[in-house]
Amino acid sequence: MNYADLFRATLPETALEVAALLVLVVDLGLLRKAALKVRVAVAALLGVAGCGAAAWFLLQQGTEGLSYQSSGELLLTTGGFTAAAQVGILVLTALTLLLLIDADFTHHVGEFVAVVLMAATGGLLIAAAQDLLVIFVGLELLSLGLYILTAFAKRSGKSAEAALKYYLFGGMSAAFLLFGFSYLYGLTGSTNLHQILLMVYGWNASQTAPLLYVAIVLVAAGLGFKVAAVPFHLWAPDTYEGAPAPAAAFIASVSKVASFALLIAISTAALHVFDDGPAMPVSPGFLVSWSLILTVLSTASMVLGNLAALAQTSVRRLLAYSAIAHAGYILLGLAFFSYSSRSAAAVLYYILTYGLTTVGAFGVVAVVERATGSDRLESFLGLHKRNPLLAAVLLVLFLSLAGIPPLVGFWAKFNLFAAVLGVSAGPVPFALVALAVAFSAVSLYYYLQVLKRAYVMPAVDESPMKAHPVTLAVLLGIAAAVVVLGCFPALLEGWIANFVK
Amino acid sequence: MLAWTIYLSFAGTLVLALLPKGRPALARWLALAVAVAGLGLAVQGFVAGMGQGRITIVDLPWVPSMGVHFLLAADGISRVLVLLTGLAAVAGVLFSWNIELRTNEFFAFFLALIGGVYGVFLSFDLFLLFVFYEVAIVPKYFLIAIWGSTRREYAAMKLALYSFVGSAMVLIGLLAAYATAGSHSTGLVELAHAGLPVSFQMWCFPLVFTGFAILAGMWPFHTWAPTGHVAAPTAASMLLAGVVMKLGAYGCLRVGIALFPYGLDPWGFSFAGLGSWRDVFAVLAVVGIVYGALVALVQTDFKFVIGYSSVSHMGFVLLGLMTLNQIGVTGAVLQMFSHGIIAGLLFAIVGRIVYDRTHTRQFAELETMHLSKRLPFAAWAFVIAGMASMGLPGFSGFVAELQVLVGAWKVNPWWVAAAAVGIVVGVAYTWRALQKAFFSDALPAAHILEQEQAHKFAAITWPEVTGVVLLGGVSLAVGLYPRILLETIEPAVKALLAGGGQ
């Protein structure tokens, strides 16, 4: 590895960083006197352009990745599933920025956009990371960005409270993760994922150190926090509720995609360690415990997320608990992971479409919130009269989250569960899939609670609710994508499959 | 051509959703045009398909990686039920002619529901069938929740959740069958030929059958039906009882019985006289027949009588399916058609013709209104519909229920004995409703008589007359000449029972 290789492999990340700096220069330098609207528009568009450039660089990359020349140990992967996840991160970041155009919660627009771009860089890094240190650096870059974004509405006490909670939980879970990493390093003498796995697989049952299991639990705790899996979910409802809407959308989509991309990378690595080397006896200790802990997290998240969502009166909190439930479904796909690319593709399909739907949902919530001053269920009363298009978007997105065909959420679920059963149709995975399907039936109830307000119950206030044309266009675009991708599921599937080759 | 019934309905939904508000007349005529076009296509498909087996209409790869095809096809059973859907759709629009609240949206949801129903009846890919089956859930919710009456939000949510739980059970079975078959196809024919292990069929059959039977109103999962029917606006009640419950029964037959034939085999032991899933579901069906009829006998709300009668009549469909013989299953399919028409007619009379004029459905109040004199059209229409519902010879219900009972007799005469009780009670509740609602002698107070003189009911409108004539005529025609449908149904049932051929 020399600096030229490093530069080449991290061109997309570099593009985002350059865009972030450019936004700061333009916003703080050139546009100091300009109106807020202009500044927001310029900053957001610059950010979107940065995402576009980064995506362009991404698609140019080969699959060789970035390795140490001396040992050949891989540091970052490029191409393949990583690239698909990274493109997803960039698209979702761009959509978040476009939805920002209408926002007025802060005057520090340049800083906000710059932090979004830097956090997205962290997301790109962890999606590609193959080394514990890179994983940690990427996670921190992402997380620190998110704490700042959560606190950005300086006039709102809720925002500060949410950020503090998020920060404290996040700091603790980062400590757990690092602690786990230190054990892994201590046990194996390497920070490279591949090397660690080779070493761990080589131990027979009596050699396997109990510390390994401690390390696995600690790592799972750290990553479980990022994806808001029960019991590491406590930050999610408060953060979703308190953060400014674009920040919440970013946390709910981009950060999730990146974290799950990391989990996909770990699960894939765990199964493909021996692909290039000589076959050797494998001790199942690691795989079994990793799968077991994911199963436990998944079950707890599905049950608790769905049940808690039933009782929510704030739509943001409802979305938070639904996010926990969705994380539960995805973790199930990761717990029963296939050697072939089937599971990876299914999980990626799920998380990308879920991210898209959530960004849209937060977009709608943001518009309603601006008009009514609250995200309570009552704020959605009569939405179909106040803004029929917005109500239609809400209908499509929420039904997709509930998994009603022919919307994309249904295909994502079906694909994922079919992949789980494809790995093993034994009683345990089957019972868990049955549980997941049963809880999706439960979830319809709380999604309908919102739609009922929007369509059925009488409106208190029937004055039209205005949405910025750009916001509306973006939301309509997202809803259209949810419908089209749902009617032609092979489109996105083919796109993902293209990256595998 | 039949595929256009689906496309046309969804296109109608889209156009109506985008239509500028404040033009209710336009929306009505547009919906009627779409419904009539759908009926025309259904009739054309029915006539063109006479004497033929299964016809593939469209077959496109949809999700190649999973082997899902966009496969629309029609055999005799499908063609008959598509015809029913066409009739129900036209009648539904006619009896919704007076909807003034959010007319565009009403007909948009209405046509979306119809499109989903057409889709289910025409799908020969398990996956596609499931997609259409779920597409039909959401419009039902909104139709009842927005335009309904008595406890509408409760009833709508109950219906949506029951449907969704049922479809979740189906989805679990579907995933399991797909994973077990390992054939990389979700086509109904391919799955039927995949050779699913007997032990697998034994537990998957009851799961899938129950999932579908929830929507068919199988006791004890029927409770959504009466509340849903009563709360729904007239057209939605007509569709719920007329076609949506048939979706469930159709799924039981097309998916449950056809894919898991060994699931009906004896367990090898018997428990409380039940030796197989077939016995279990047949007993539940018979209980539904008797229970529905008995509960209908004591209702004070006119619409609840019809609601519970639907549970009772759908019991015959399920009983017919469980006979697993040619005549019984043919009877079940004919009963689906027949009940769809008759229940539609009954709900139209109670919910639209009577309720929209009297604004009450309570027998205690209707008794004092002299409806036989003041609404003679409604009274005589109900006499005809009631006779059809009782299963009098000359109407479609008679032929259908007779066949079911003959089929059931061959399997277990006790089922027939119990179901016969249901029929007798059926006569009683229909008679009671007729007498209380229309031909009561109760004398109203003097001031009410004055009011009656002063306040005449609105005249019967042309859509109502057309709708009654259409539905009553079809029931009579099928009753007098059942071969017109039986010739189409019988070969399809034969192929289906022969196993997998479909």
Residue holding tokens 């959401």? B138
Cis amide leading into A244 (omega within 30): no
pLDDT at A281: 59
Distance CA B445, CA B258 (A): 60
Look over chain B and give the mean of its residue pLDDT values, rounded to a whole number: 87
Q: Do A455 and B64 touch (CB under 8 A)?
A: no
Q: What is the mean pLDDT of residues B478-488?
A: 88
Position B501 scores a pLDDT of 43
The CA-to-CA distance between both ends of chain A, in Å, stands at: 25
User: Is residue A93 over pLDDT 80?
Assistant: yes
Report the residue of chain A nearest B162, measured CA to CA. A441
Instruction: Report pLDDT digits (tens) over B17-34.
Output: 888 877 888 888 999 999
Q: Which residue has the higher pLDDT, A501 or A362?
A: A362
Q: How far is A425 from chain B (nearest CA, A)?
A: 7
Q: Is the pLDDT of residue A137 over 90?
A: yes
> Is the pLDDT assigned to residue A280 strictly greater than 70?
no
Q: Is the pLDDT of residue B150 over 80?
A: no
Two structure tokens written together for B314: 């759908």
pLDDT tops 80 at residue A434: yes
- B423-469 confidence digits (pLDDT tens): 999 999 998 888 888 887 766 666 666 666 667 778 788 888 888 89
A349 touches chain B (CB under 8 A): no
Could you read off the pLDDT of B391-428 as tens digits, one per residue? 888 888 888 999 999 999 998 889 899 998 989 999 99
In a domain, A224, yes or no: no
List B residues 121-150 in contact with A (Cβ-Cβ < 8 A): 130-131, 134-135, 137-138, 141-142, 145-146
Out of B65, B146, B161, whose CB is closest to A444? B161
A493, B65: Cβ pair inside 8 Å? Answer: yes
A405 and B137 within 8 Å at the Cβ level: the answer is no
Residues of B with Cβ-Cβ distance to A434 under 8 angstroms: 172
For A410, which residue in chain B has the nearest alpha carbon?
A: B131
- Of residues B367, B336, B338, the one with CA closest to residue B354: B367
Does B500 score more than 90 pLDDT?
A: no
pLDDT of residue B502: 42
- pLDDT(A188) > 90: no
pLDDT tens for B48-82 read 888 888 888 888 888 888 888 899 998 889 999 99
- A389 near B CB under 8 A: no
Kindly report the number of other CB atoms within 10 A of residue B53's CB atom. Answer: 14
* Residue-by-residue DSSP string for A274-321: TSSS------THHHHHHHHHHHHHHHHHHHHHHHHHHT--BHHHHHHH
Among B199, B207, B153, B144, smallest CA distance to B175 is for B207
User: Per the domain annotation, does B502 fall within a domain?
Assistant: no
Q: Average pLDDT in the A33-42 region?
A: 88
Shortest CA gap A271–chain B (Å): 22
- Nearest-CA distance B448 → chain A (Å): 34
A444 touches chain B (CB under 8 A): yes
Map residue B499 onto helix, strand or coil. coil
Structural domain range at position A441: 330-501
Q: Choose the mutation target among A399, A417, A456, A492 for the interface with B, i.e. most B CBs under 10 Å.
A: A456
- pLDDT mean over A70-87: 85
Question: Shortest CB distance from A455 goes to which of B65, B142, B172?
Answer: B142
In a domain, A368, yes or no: yes
First to last CA, chain B: 20
DSSP-derived secondary structure for B166-218? HHHHHHHHHHHHHHHH-SS--BHHHHHTS---HHHHHHHHHHHHHHHHHHTT-
Residue B388 Cα distances to A318, B80, B136, B367, angstroms? 50, 19, 28, 23
Q: Is residue B197, in this structure, part of any structural domain at all?
A: yes
Chain A closest-CA separation from residue B6 CA (Å): 14
**Numbers of helices and strands, H then E, in chain B:** 25, 4
Residue A395 lies in a domain: yes
Rounded mean pLDDT of B253-282?
Answer: 86
Q: Is A456 on the interface with B (CB under 8 A)?
A: yes
Look at residue B446 in the predicted model and tell me its pLDDT: 61
Tell me, yes or no, whether A426 lies in a domain. Answer: yes
pLDDT above 90: percentage of residues in chain A: 58
- Across the interface, whether the CB atoms of A421 and B179 are under 8 A apart is answered yes
Identify all chain B residues contacting A414, using CB atoms and an 8 Å cutoff.
Answer: 171, 175
User: Measured between CB atoms, which of A406, A418, A456 is closest to B135?
Assistant: A406
For residues B307 and B225, give the distance between their C-alpha atoms in angstroms, rounded to a whole number.
Answer: 7
pLDDT of the residue at B442 = 65
- Tell me, what's the pLDDT at B454? 64
The three state secondary structure string of A200-255 is HHHCCCCCCCHHHHHHHHHHHHHHHHHCCCCCCCCHHHHHHHHCCHHHHHHHHHHH
How many domains is chain A partitioned into structurally? 1
Nearby residues of B391 by Cβ (< 8 Å), 6 or more positions away: B397, B398, B401, B402, B423, B426
B172 touches chain A (CB under 8 A): yes
Rounded-to-integer distance, Cα A415 and Cα A44, Å? 35
Tokens standing for residue B294: 């008995």
Can you tell me the mean pLDDT for A66-91?
85
Residue B176 at interface with chain A, using a CB cutoff of 8 Å: yes
A411 contact B CB<8A: yes
Tens of pLDDT along A411-433?
999 999 989 988 887 889 889 99
Size of the A and B interface in Cβ pairs below 8 Å: 79
Please report residues of A whose CB lies closer than 8 A to that of B160: 444, 448
A493 and B63: CB-CB below 8 Å? yes
Residue A425, chain B, CB below 8 Å: the answer is: yes
How far apart are the CA of B297 and the nearest CA of chain A, in angstroms? Answer: 33
State mean pLDDT over A12-41. Answer: 90
Place of tokens 């949810």: A482
Q: In this complex, which of A417, A441, A444 lies closest to B175 when CB atoms are compared?
A: A417
B194 to chain A, any CB pair closer than 8 A? The answer is no
Task: Report if pTM > 0.90.
Answer: yes
DSSP-derived secondary structure letter, B102: T
Return the structure tokens found at A308.
């808690």
Residue from A437, A446, A485 whose CB has the most chain B CBs within 10 Å, to mutate: A437
Residue type, A170: G
Across B115-141, average pLDDT = 91
Find which of B147, B172, B174 to mutate to test the A interface (most A CBs within 10 Å of its CB).
B172
Number of independent structural domains in chain B: 1
Residue A480 belongs to some domain of the structure: yes
| A493 in reach of chain B (CB within 8 A) | yes
Put simply, whether A280 touches B (Cβ < 8 Å) is no
Range of the domain at B71: 3-497
Cβ–Cβ gap A444/B64 under 8 Å: no
Amino acid code (one letter) for A189? G
Which residue has better confidence, A104 or A242? A242
Mean pLDDT of B175-200: 82
- Residue B298 makes CB contacts below 8 A (sequence gap 6+) with none
Between CA B85 and CA B341 the distance in angstroms is 9
Nearest Cα neighbor of A359 from A246, A450, A481, A446 is: A246
Q: Of A404, A490, A493, which has the smallest distance from its Cβ to B138's Cβ?
A: A404
Name chain A contacts of B63, Cβ cutoff 8 Å: 411, 489-490, 493
Q: In 3-state terms, what secondary structure has residue B61?
A: strand
Helix locations, B258-395, DSSP H: 258-259, 277-297, 302-323, 326-347, 355-358, 363-366, 371-374, 376-390
Nearest to B157 among A411, A425, A448 (CB): A448
Q: What DSSP string runs through A39-89?
A: HHHHHHHHHHHHHHHHHHHHHH--S--EE-TTT--EEE--SHHHHHHHHHH
Q: Which two tokens stand for residue B451?
A: 């009011």
Return d(Cα A250, Cα A252) in angstroms, integer: 5
Task: Kindly report, residue by residue over A300-346, the tens digit of the pLDDT.
Answer: 999 999 999 999 999 999 999 999 999 999 999 999 988 888 889 99
- What the block records as the tokens of B82 is 């598509």
Contacts of A411 in chain B (CB under 8 A): 63
What's the pLDDT score for residue B210? 93
What is the mean pLDDT of the segment spanning A104-126?
A: 91
Report if residue A233 sits inside a domain: no
Indicate which of A455, A462, A495 best probes the interface with B, i.e. most B CBs within 10 Å of its own CB: A455
Chain B interface includes A73 (CB < 8 A)? no
Contact yes or no for B161 and A445 at CB 8 A: yes
What average pLDDT score do residues A444-470 get?
88
Q: Is residue A494 part of a domain?
A: yes
**H or E element: which one contains A20?**
helix A11-25
Distance CA A354, CA A358 (A): 6
Interchain pair B63, A490: CB under 8 A: yes
